[in-house]
């Protein structure tokens, strides 16, 4: 089994020699199998392994026993484990989301925190072949695109890896039994309380019995086939996206020449635009994409609202796609990203800001490396030595000013927004990167002249923003 996993890992270039990997460890069969196998590959890849466990405080004593189990398991195999307790129900109530969503958000925030703390390279998740089949069926029933039918991918964002995605649940359980791992069993997985559980417990067994006993394998192969074809079409769509779309005033503008494109390409361009604005396509279905496409034939000023606060508007024939400023959101006035000294010695910093749905990645580099300053809009470079104390992210305040790069003197942020023709409804939701409480970067727009890199700069601070949950 370990050799099979290694072949899958090599095929998708998931792991490099010397990687530090955090394993999401719930204590169930999937994650225990994953940890045990990666521990078996540790010497071959020269890996450093860590475990991350979140106690959701949903199942009382059982959840506490899960936590104790994973601690003992990691102690036996010599892996450091980091645990966190979160009141998922309280978070769900506060954020007005389901307990599933709240739990997932809490886990991923913890993973990002650990990745930053441990300077880890990858986060390993224990999705398997059955998870893939369930995901594809759920997306089919909800309505999805060809992109959605690719299902769960082996690698996401070059960070999250799924080394046992090709293994069935039966193979995983057999591996656990053969190696006497005795994983924990979450009784809620056997209850029809979530849609995914109903697909797993009712729908797939029904299909196996009445239509196709190999439905899990069939859907897995279907996903692979879809992925090959979709990846090729996506290359064409991205070329068209680059020629038709521009990032303007905090949102994506699609030229009205979109109407001349084949529907298969046009819908993909819209998906790319939404992904660029929001960072993911979560809760965006095919019906939403076609609603946006239909705006092309309507008059200027016509607008539709999509999930996640995404707004699409016809502006003189062009499509404008952006995030609606929800005034009910409680944007925190300031987020402390790090102290200046936290980045000394080549350390990296990565902080997820849930309200803005962005991850701020920072790294200091000497000014003797080849750096491409003509990069995409969400990566910028600053003179690290001009920072005195700290790095923060906040939203605009009354009287904010900026010294825009290439200009002499300062300018009111309000006037800058007006010059850039940023709609009023977007202005309060634009994050501001600050050094020592001075605005260094209006994210997605202008940077400050005060912290600009010059020929005399010794150390360069690279700031990269990644959008998405």
CA torsion angle 199 203 205 207 (round to 10): -130
Q: Over the Cα atoms of the chain, what is R_g?
A: 24
Phi and psi for 272 in degrees, rounded to 5? Answer: -60, -40
Report the side by side order of strands in the sheet with 155-156.
Answer: 80-85, 48-55, 20-24, 122-124, 160-161, 155-156
Task: Give the side-chain half-sphere CA count within 13 A for 200.
Answer: 18
Q: Is 78 annotated as a binding residue?
A: no
Angle, to 10 degrees, between the axis of helix 61-77 and the axis of helix 29-40?
Answer: 10
Three-state DSSP at 406 gives: coil
Vertex 243 angle, CA 238 and 248, to 5°: 100
Both tokens of residue 428? 């309060």
Q: Is 456 annotated as a binding residue?
A: no
Taking the C-alpha atoms of residue 263 and residue 256, their distance in angstroms, rounded to an integer, is 14
Taking the C-alpha atoms of residue 12 and residue 47, their distance in angstroms, rounded to an integer, is 17
Contacts of 363 (CB under 8 A, 6+ apart): 343, 346, 348, 349, 461, 462, 464
Q: Is 103 annotated as a binding residue?
A: no
Closest among 356, 377, 358 to 248, alpha carbons compared: 377
Contacts of 48 (CB under 8 A, 6+ apart): 18, 19, 20, 21
Both tokens of residue 19? 């990687």
Q: How far is CA 96 from CA 91, 92, 102, 353, in A?
A: 8, 6, 9, 18
Three-state DSSP at 440 gives: strand
Task: Name the burial class of residue 209, with classes exposed (0-12), middle (13-18) and buried (19+) by CB atoms within 10 angstroms of its CB.
Answer: exposed
Both tokens of residue 224? 């692979």
Taking the C-alpha atoms of residue 353 and residue 361, their distance in angstroms, rounded to an integer, is 11
Q: Is 297 annotated as a binding residue?
A: no
By DSSP bridging, strand 310-315 and strand 303-306 are antiparallel
Q: How many CB atoms lie within 10 A of CB 297?
A: 9
Taking the C-alpha atoms of residue 25 and residue 11, their distance in angstroms, rounded to an integer, is 24
Q: Is 410 annotated as a binding residue?
A: no
Binding region for ATP? 26-31
Binding region? 26-31
């Amino acid at each position: 089994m370990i050799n099979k996993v290694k072949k899958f890992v090599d095929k998708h270039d998931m792991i490099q020699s010397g990687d530090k990997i955090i394993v999401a460890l719930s204590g169930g069969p999937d994650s225990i199998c994953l940890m045990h196998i990666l521990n078996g590959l540790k010497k071959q890849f020269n890996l450093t392994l860590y475990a991350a466990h979140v106690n959701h405080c949903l199942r009382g004593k059982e959840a506490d026993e899960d936590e104790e189990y994973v601690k003992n398991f990691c102690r036996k195999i010599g892996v450091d484990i980091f645990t966190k307790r979160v009141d998922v129900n309280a978070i769900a109530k506060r954020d007005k989301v389901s307990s599933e969503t709240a739990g997932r958000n809490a886990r991923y925030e913890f993973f990002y925190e650990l990745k930053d703390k441990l300077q880890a390279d990858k986060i390993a998740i224990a999705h398997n072949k059955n998870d893939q089949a369930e995901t594809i069926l759920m997306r089919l029933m909800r309505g999805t695109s060809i992109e959605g039918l690719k299902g769960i991918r082996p690698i996401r964002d070059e960070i999250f890896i799924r080394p046992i995605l090709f293994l069935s649940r039966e193979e995983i359980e057999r591996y656990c039994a053969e190696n006497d791992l005795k994983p924990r069993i979450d009784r809620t997985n056997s209850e029809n309380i979530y849609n995914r559980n109903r697909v797993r417990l009712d729908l797939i067994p029904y299909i196996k019995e009445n239509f196709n006993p190999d439905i899990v394998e069939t859907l897995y192969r279907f996903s692979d086939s879809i992925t090959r074809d979709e990846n090729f079409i996506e290359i064409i769509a991205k070329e068209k996206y680059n020629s038709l779309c521009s990032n303007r005033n905090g949102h994506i503008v699609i030229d009205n020449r979109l109407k001349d494109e084949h529907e298969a390409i046009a819908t993909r361009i819209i998906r790319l635009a939404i992904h660029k604005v929001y960072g993911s396509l979560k809760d965006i279905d095919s019906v939403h994409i076609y609603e946006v496409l239909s705006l092309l034939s309507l008059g200027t000023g016509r607008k539709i609202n999509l999930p996640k606060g995404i707004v699409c508007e016809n502006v003189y024939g062009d499509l404008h796609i952006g995030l609606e400023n929800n005034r009910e959101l409680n944007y925190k006035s300031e987020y402390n990203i790090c102290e200046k000294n936290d980045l000394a010695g080549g350390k990296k910093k990565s902080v997820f800001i849930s309200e803005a749905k962005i991850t701020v990645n920072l790294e200091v580099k000497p000014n003797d490396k080849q750096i491409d300053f003509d990069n995409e809009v969400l990566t910028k470079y600053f003179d690290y030595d001009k920072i005195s104390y700290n790095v923060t992210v906040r939203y605009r305040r009354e009287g904010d000013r900026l010294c825009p790069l290439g200009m002499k003197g300062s300018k009111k942020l309000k006037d800058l927004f007006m010059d850039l023709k940023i709609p009023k409804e977007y202005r309060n939701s634009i994050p501001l990167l600050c050094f020592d409480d001075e605005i260094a970067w209006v994210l997605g727009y202008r940077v400050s002249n005060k912290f600009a890199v010059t020929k005399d700069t010794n150390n360069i601070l690279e700031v990269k923003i990644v959008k998405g949950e």
